Structure formats: structure tokens, C-alpha cells
Structure 1
Amino acid sequence: MIVERSLDPRWLSNTWLVGDRPGGHGVLIDTGGPMEPILAAIEAHRLTVTHVLCTHHHHDHVTHNADYKQRFDCPICGHAAEAELFGDLDRELAAGEELRSGDLVLRALHIPGHTEGQLAFLVNESRVFTGDTLFKGSVGGTRAPGHGTFEELRESVMGTLMALPHGTLVNPGHVDETTIGAEWESNPFVRAWRGVDDLRDEPCTAFGQPARLLVEARDYDGGTKCQVRFEESGALDLVPGSRVKR
């Protein structure tokens, strides 16, 4: 399998090129990274691009959708729940739906939370592209436009992604690759949700509201991500550490 990446220096968002073999077929997963490295890799590997696959609708993941569609005459694919937010979907995908690109078999996994229509793409049962749901050492937030709930995101991580074999490679929507096994063992959120590590339960404010800080971890951008419980409502949330004060 061929896997190439382009990383946007502002948003740290990835465009992934996945191909079956040199001279074969491939897909693009998210398009927020610069085009030049991806176009060079497509040419070097002599790939025919068959699909643009979108994990979700946020601007840092769809920047070059139209450019790739025009260049390769390939459909833009994403979850039906976000069709209106994309505005340019050619194919609406459902949970569990499979696509083929040459020798690649890609299965769409619905992993709501960061957004309601968030998708992961499991490729040949060995590598999963997780968008903004699971990162190396962290997880996605539940405050971005079109977000779902904390409970949805936790279930997407624990019930869907962590159910994959531990050797499965993870290619996230931002920065570096990891594995399911590595995140099972070392991701602070996963460890807390497994019951391995105790919750911190420290007083704080989040977005100016009284809350309890339960989990804090280094995030992909060098900041932190926090799980909090709001005092008044009891609601759980995943928020940027910059919005948490102690």
C-alpha cells in the first residue's frame, strides 16, 4: 500500500494519498494540506485517483476538494448527515458502506462526536483514517461547528475505533501516525475511559462556567485538550485547554 501525506503548516491538517500499487489506483482522504506534494506523489507513483473521501466538513479538511475534482474528474464523498454543509458532495456515504479503488477496499465508519457526520475510513482492514476523532495522544473536541456530544465521541473512540485490532495503523486528520494499540495503552482519554486511570476532579472554569477538570492531555497543536464536567448541568464536554482556567 502506498501512503503519502501533505501537512498544512497553519492548521496542521493532513491530506492523505492512499494507493494500491505503483501504476495502480488511489484515493485522497481530506484535502486541507498543500496540493503540490500530493500531485508530485500521484505522478511519481503513476496513480489514477478515483475518489476524494472526506472525514468531515470543516474548512481545514476540504480546502482543495473542488481543485482535485476538476483535475481528476473524481467524485467527492462524505457522510449524508453533512451533505448540506459540504455543498459539493457527489456521493453520500452511509455507515459501513464500502468503496473500491483498484485493490483497495475502503469501509466508511460513522464516528460522530466532533461532527455529526464524521467518518473514518478503514483501508484493507489494516489502516484507519480517523479525521478529527482520534489523534496521537488525544481526541477530538465537541465544540466545533456541527459538533455532536461528548457521549457520541467517547462511544466512537471506545466502541468503534478501539474495537479494531491493536496493530491497526491510525492516520489522523492532524499531524502524526500512531496505532490503535499505542492509543489503547497511552492515550490519557482512552485510559480514563477504560477505568485504568483515575479522573482528576479538580475545580476550574470552562468557557467561564464553573466546572470540574477530569482529564487533560497534550493536543496535536502543542496546546491541551480537556474533559470537563459542568457544575450546574452535570454535562460532560471535550474543550480546548485554552478555555479552561484554574
Structure 2
Amino acid sequence: MASQAYHGFASQQRESAAVEVVLVPAFADNYIYVLRDDASGKVGIVDPGDAAPVIAELDRRGWTPTHIFLTHHHNDHIGGVAELKARYRPTVIGARADAHRIPDLDVALGEGDRTVFGEQAVRVFAVPGHTSGHIAFWFEGADALFPGDTLFALGCGRLFEGTPEQMWDSLVQLRALSDPTRIYCGHEYTLSNARFAVTVDPENAALRARADEIAALRERGEPTIPSTIGVERRTNPFLRADDPAVQAAVGLPGATPERVFAEIRSRKDHFRG
């Protein structure tokens, strides 16, 4: 799959907030993101699990990275950091809670912290569940969210280090962002996620239509990313554990959202499709 670029604007009145986002495929299904702030020319990289495809993309565009943003400590998200830092000397930004597991970290941030990338204000959310120290980056002016492996298009990450309660709280926090917010997640899992989602939310017409669209995109070899918060709120069953229709569909009418979320996550863990 070739790298693809997208431009983000918060509104027509805020063109200074534009960020170019380049999707760089890596491994079997990872996405690394290369960002360029239009106003300042600063270049960032999100979750570089592999340095080689990032270097190739930077060379092709004539860009030099100034920042690296890391959502969590898994090697498929940080494996290329050492080589990129040695080559370009960017500032490496990651979770304070994961400082002991992320080498080469320069700036350690946590819940509610903010940093600056060129002309961009970047807010940090603590979103434990997939890992205990996981964070997400929200580029406020560009309305772009980089949630790593917490939130996927039509899915969420496995609970390797956290509890269902933690992950549900994390997802609710991200779900509260505005509908147009674009979601640049860590993996191209959407086709499998769609096949699963229709099994737990079968009466959702918007989900069925989206599943057909996703199948067509993947058939053409095109990415399903970015999604948006609005689309995920309507179609992602992991964000709808407090919806009576989803609760009834999984046989837990009136149950707490945490209990329903845990059931959906358990079913996905055992899903083969």
C-alpha cells in the first residue's frame, strides 16, 4: 500500500491550523504517521515502529523530522525510534508513566498536559487499557486524534495491561471529542473489526452500510483510515456499550456499560472472521 496524505482543517476560518498527515504502512498492518505543520514547516512522526519506511518517505519529500510522538511502549510503535533519533535528533515525546519502558524519551507527559508542535497545540489524554501507560495525542486546531492502539476504526485494543473499566473510561473520554475529529489509529484492522461489529450490532443500518464501504476500500487496496469520532460514535460497538440496543443484542439489557463492554471485548478476543 502506498503512502497517502491528508490535510486537516478545524474550520475554514482556521486555515493556519492545517496539518498534512501522511500514512506510512509498516509491517503487516501498522500505520506510522508523518506530520507536517503547514504554518511552521515542523515535521513529526507518530509511533515509528520501523525506521526504514519513515526514512524513505522523509527522503522522498525532503523533510527533516523535529518531533516524535509515542503513544505506548510496544515495539511495533517504538522500534524505529533509536535509529531516527540518531539520524535526525528530533525531540521524543511520550508517556510519563512509560518513561521506564521507552528509551530515548526527551519529554514525558501525562493526562491533561499540553505541548506544542509548530503552530499546533497538542493535548494529551491518558487512556490506559491496552497498556497501563498508554496516551493519545489530540491536535486541537487540526481536529486530529492519534490514539495509538486504544481506539481503532470499528474497534479498540486488546486489554494487555488494563481492565475493562479502565478501557471503557478511556474510550468514553475520546468519544467526547467533536464529530469531525479525524482518528489516525495504529493499525489497519477495520475489515476484521467490521465483520465482528455486525455480529453484536446487527440492526445498525449505518454499520451495515459502513461495512460494505470498508470491504470495497480494502478490495481496492485503499486504507480505511482516517475515520472520525462521529462515524465511530454511530457504528463502533465498543463505543456504544451504554446503548440499550447493543446491550440487548449481547443479552445484557440494563447492564452497566463496563459489563457490556467487557462482554463485547471478550467476544472479539475469540472472534475468527
Q: In structure 2, what is the Cα distance between the partners aligned to 1:124 and 1:13? A: 24
Q: TM-score, normalised by structure 1?
A: 0.76
Give deviations 1:112-158, integer Å, cap 9, x for gaps: 1111111111113411001111111111111x2xx111111111111
Give deviations 1:62-116, integer Å, cap 9, x for gaps: 1101011111101222111111122332221122222222222221111111111
Q: In structure 2, what is the Cα distance between the partners aligned to 1:67 and 1:115? A: 24
User: Is residue 22–residue 46 contact of structure 1 (8 Å, CA) maintained in 2?
Assistant: no
Q: In structure 2, what is the Cα distance between the partners aligned to 1:107 and 1:78? A: 12
Query: In the alignment, which residue of structure 2 is the partner of 1:200?
Result: 250
Question: How does 1:27-38 map onto structure 2 within 5 Å?
Answer: 27-33=44-50, 35-36=52-53, 38=54
Q: In structure 2, what is the Cα distance between the partners aligned to 1:181 and 1:26? A: 28
Q: In structure 2, what is the Cα distance between the partners aligned to 1:242 and 1:170? A: 23
Question: How does 1:53-68 map onto structure 2 within 5 Å?
Answer: 53-68=69-84
Match of 2:134 among 118, 143, 156: 118
Q: In structure 1, what is the Cα distance between the partners aligned to 2:102 and 2:31? A: 18
Q: In structure 2, what is the Cα distance between the partners aligned to 1:182 and 1:109? A: 20
Shift in CA distance, 105/140, structure 1 to aligned 2, threshold 3 Å: same
Q: TM-score, normalised by structure 2?
A: 0.69
Shift in CA distance, 23/95, structure 1 to aligned 2, threshold 3 Å: closer
Tell whether 2:89 aligns with 1:89.
no
Shift in CA distance, 113/242, structure 1 to aligned 2, threshold 3 Å: closer
Query: In the alignment, which residue of structure 1 is the partner of 2:232?
Result: 183
**The residue matched to 1:185 in structure 2 has which SS?**
helix
Tell whether 2:171 aligns with 1:154.
no
- Kindly indicate which of the two structures has a greater share of residues assigned to helix: 2
- Kindly indicate which of the two structures has a greater share of residues assigned to strand: 1
Give deviations 1:180-220, integer Å, cap 9, x for gaps: 00000001222233334224149xxxxxxxxxxx87xxxxx
Match of 2:115 among 78, 85, 99: 99
Shift in CA distance, 23/35, structure 1 to aligned 2, threshold 3 Å: farther
Q: In structure 2, what is the Cα distance between the partners aligned to 1:188 and 1:94? A: 27
User: Is residue 39–residue 118 contact of structure 2 (8 Å, CA) maintained in 1?
Assistant: no
Shift in CA distance, 201/96, structure 1 to aligned 2, threshold 3 Å: same
Query: In the alignment, which residue of structure 2 is the partner of 1:128?
Result: 145
Instruction: Specify the code of the residue in structure 2 equivalent to 1:166.
Output: D
Cα deviation, residue 41, structure 1: 3.6
Query: In the alignment, which residue of structure 1 is the partner of 2:265?
Result: 238
Q: In structure 1, what is the Cα distance between the partners aligned to 2:265 and 2:47? A: 23
Structure 2 regions of 5+ residues with no counterpart? 1-18, 189-224, 253-258
Query: In the alignment, which residue of structure 2 is the partner of 1:218?
Result: none
